[in-house]
Amino acid sequence: MEHHPTLIQIPNFLGALGVPGAWVPEHVAMAWVVMAILVGVSYLATRRLDAVPGPMQNFMEVVVEMFVDLLTQMIGPKGKRYLPLIGTAGLFILVGNLLGTVPGFKPPTANLNTTAALAITVFLSYNYFGIREQGIAAYLRHFCGPILWLAPIMFPIEFIGHLARPISLSIRLFGNIFGEESVIAILLSLIWLGIPYVIYLGIMMPLSLFTSFVQSFIFVMLSMVYIAGAVQSEHEEHH
Amino acid sequence: MKDNQARLWRQLAGLSSLGITFAASIAIGAAIGIALDRWLGTSPWLTILFFIFGVAAGFTNLLKDLKRWGS
């Protein structure tokens, strides 16, 4: 596929440290754009915190409330503790996905490296949370199953099951966003054939907005399920 | 109504991950087995064993997820 340059091109300033390439890779530059957007919005929202919130603060309060609600629903009253991780991941993915609908930008989540970084962070975090809440012995006992003599069989099975989680998290997000991005690029490159722009605007735009929201929601929700599974012991679990 | 809808969305999100987790489990099991076989030189026994573990992990995950999200 032909390569569409993005608006933001950052020269590779780490060349002296042995980082190859003349430019900072696209997905890294785009991830920085997302970070800049998030930092800027957060700054604007919290610049003048007020009991009667302005529009920006109001909006961010609604967004944060949404995350807190979901966390308390999925994890329980202690769920608020995990807001920093989940909220950051969710907002990063959402803004990153939506960046794909802006011409001249590419979603950083259309690259497996970005999504793998996010998924590995979630994976390490939920294991850490589980060990912190239950202690390492009790946490590892979950891996061995309920019957003691089956433990040598259950342990590798559970271990593989846990390893599958970051893989499915990262590949699903990457696959969806990359696929959507590729379809848009192909449709745009076929415009000279007489395929009307309406297809792009009328079908692909709503579709990509939809996948953006759904994929970030899925990522956030599965992360919460994993954290909930790690911090609650078996008999506490309620569903 | 609102609650029902939120539940439906959660179910959709959870159930949409069934297939990829299943496949990833088997792939990871096979990959671990192949790596161990290369390392220990016991080909093909550990590959077979861990492939079975991978399939078992896939089904365990499948059943757990169905229990959590189904109905």
Report how far residue A118's alpha carbon sits from residue A219's, in angstroms, rounded to the nearest whole number: 10
Q: Cβ of B57 and A221 within 8 Å?
A: no
A163 and chain B: CB distance < 8 Å anywhere? yes
Closest CA–CA distance from residue A158 to any residue of chain B (Å): 6
Angle between helices A26-46 and A55-74 (to 10 degrees): 110
What domain count does chain A have? 1
- Yes or no: say if B55 and B26 are a contact pair by the CB < 8 Å rule: yes
From first to last of its 239 residues, chain A has per-residue pLDDT tens of 345 567 777 777 777 777 777 788 888 888 999 999 999 998 888 887 777 777 888 888 888 998 998 888 888 888 888 999 999 999 999 999 998 888 778 889 999 999 999 999 999 999 999 999 888 888 888 888 778 888 888 888 989 999 999 999 999 999 999 998 888 888 878 777 776 677 777 888 888 899 899 899 999 989 998 998 888 765 554 44
Closest CA–CA distance from residue A232 to any residue of chain B (Å): 15
Closest CA–CA distance from residue B59 to any residue of chain A (Å): 9
Q: Which residues, 6+ apart, have CB-to-CB distance to A132 below 8 Å?
A: none
Is residue A185, in this structure, part of any structural domain at all?
A: yes
Segments forming the whole domain that contains residue B32: 2-69
Taking contacts as CB-CB distances below 8 angstroms, the residues of chain A near B24 are 164, 167-168, 171
Taking contacts as CB-CB distances below 8 angstroms, the residues of chain A near B9 are 217
Q: Cβ of A218 and B13 within 8 Å?
A: yes
Q: Cβ of B68 and A239 within 8 Å?
A: yes
Residues B44-53: tens digit of each pLDDT: 899 999 999 9
Q: Cβ of A163 and B28 within 8 Å?
A: yes
Q: What is the mean pLDDT of chain A?
A: 84
Taking contacts as CB-CB distances below 8 angstroms, the residues of chain A near B57 are 156-161, 164
Is residue A226, in this structure, part of any structural domain at all?
A: yes
Task: Tell me if ipTM is over 0.90.
Answer: no
Is residue A4, in this structure, part of any structural domain at all?
A: no
Angle between helices A151-189 and B45-69 (to 10 degrees): 80
Scanning B28-67 for CB atoms below 8 A from A yields 28-29, 32, 50, 53-54, 56-58, 60-61, 67
What domain count does chain B have? 1
Residues A17-31: tens digit of each pLDDT: 777 777 888 888 889
- Yes or no: say if A7 and A105 are a contact pair by the CB < 8 Å rule: yes
The torsion region of residue A70 among left (phi > 0), alpha (psi -120 to 50) and beta comes to: alpha
Question: Reduced to 3 states, what is the DSSP secondary structure of residue A11?
Answer: strand
B14 and chain A: CB distance < 8 Å anywhere? yes
The encoded tokens of residue A80 equal 């608020």
Residues A53-74: tens digit of each pLDDT: 778 888 888 889 989 988 888 8
Q: Cβ of B57 and A161 within 8 Å?
A: yes
User: Which residue of B lies nearest to A66 if distances are taken between CA atoms?
Assistant: B6
Selected for mutation to probe chain B from A157, A220, A239 (highest B CB count within 10 Å) is: A157
- Yes or no: say if A80 and A72 are a contact pair by the CB < 8 Å rule: yes
Is residue A2, in this structure, part of any structural domain at all?
A: no
> How much is the pTM?
0.86
Q: Report which of A19, A25, A20, A18 is spatially closest to residue A10, judged by C-alpha positions.
A: A25
Q: Which residues, 6+ apart, have CB-to-CB distance to B53 below 8 Å?
A: A153, A156, A157, A160, B29, B33
A168 and chain B: CB distance < 8 Å anywhere? yes
